[in-house]
Amino acid sequence: MKTRKLGSAGLEVSELGLGCMGLSFGYGPATNEADAVALIQKAVELGVTFFDTAEAYSQGANEALVAKALNPYRNKVVIATKFGFKNGVATEGVDSRPERIRMVVENSLRYLQTDRIDLLYQHRVDPNVPMEDVAGTVKDLIKEGKVLHFGLSEAGVESIRRAHAVQPLTALQSEYSLWWREPEQAILPTLEELGIGFVPFSPLGKGFLTGAIDADTQFAPGDFRNVVPRFSEENRKANQRLVDLLASIAMEKSATPAQVALGWLLAQKPWIVPIPGTTRLHRLEENMGAAAISLSAGELRNIDQAFAAIPVQGARYPQQLQNLVGK
């Protein structure tokens, strides 16, 4: 697999990373540990060097899982984790006080069984803590060698500029895909101007763009898609047209819908590195196959025009979560 550089500091990672959240959080029951470790290690075999976790993904359990899988490869991979929620629980609100950031970093170093965090993100902007204080704290942690690179997640342009002025950002992580293109309006131009990489999460629309979900799909208890408006039965039925369109394009390319969706993202900018997540080996192999998908300028134009003609139905977050975005 080829590599890409995130940010002007030149953090080099595989052009597709692996989002590890779903292995223990957010999508119903946690994956069996042995299976989860095997999946992460298979990703390494396939050339993945970029792995994403967070304190909020089961309060350290996800980080510990990532550590167990990646310990044998620690100096060959880049591990990103995040701070920013009260007690590491997203539903309790945000907390990026400097003392809390330091506490989370010490915990993450322990859970990850490592001496440094390669990329540390603020998970969501905290309106109660000046961004200068957040960035200044991370800057100190970088000076101490505990953190190598700084990033933000789901932050707006103002927060990005304020953070970057104190401690240069290596990456922004936010949702971006064929069915969530808002970052194109202001975020991507700002990142390009400042030399900041972009790491799209949910690049497959939380699974919807794979074609494996339809109006009849029943999500497991604890799967957060149960409360996402875009995943209501009515909206899934309306949005099926998008998946059908993607499937027809994929058939012409002798690829799968997921591969075309990821290939489209990779073609947008050379500093974009999507992090699709999965709990299944065959899906991992399918997703990583997207690195071989080449879309011409004409094909990209046709995809854009076709998708623009089909409005997506439903909000991507319930309101209480949307309130934390783009500050």
User: Exposed, middle or buried: residue 120 (CB in 10 Å: 0-12, 13-18, 19+)?
Assistant: buried
From 57, 111, 121, 176, the catalytic residue: 57
Distance between CA atoms of 111 and 109, rounded to whole angstroms?
Answer: 6
Q: From CA 276, how far away is CA 250, in angstroms rounded?
A: 18
Task: Write the single-letter amino acid at 218.
Answer: Q
For 3, residues 6+ apart whose C-beta sits below 8 A from its C-beta are: 12, 13, 14, 15, 49
DSSP states of 19-56 as a string?
E-GGGTSSBSSPPPHHHHHHHHHHHHHTT--EEE--TT
Handedness of CA 126, 176, 207, 71 (dihedral sign): negative
- How are beta strands 50-52 and 78-83 bridged, if at all? parallel
Q: Is residue 206 within 8 Å of 231, Cβ to Cβ? A: yes
Q: Which of 199, 206, 153, 154 is nearest to 179 (CA)?
A: 206
Tokens for 53, please give them: 């976790």
Our answer to whether residue 57 is catalytic in this structure is yes
Query: What positions carry a catalytic annotation?
Result: 57
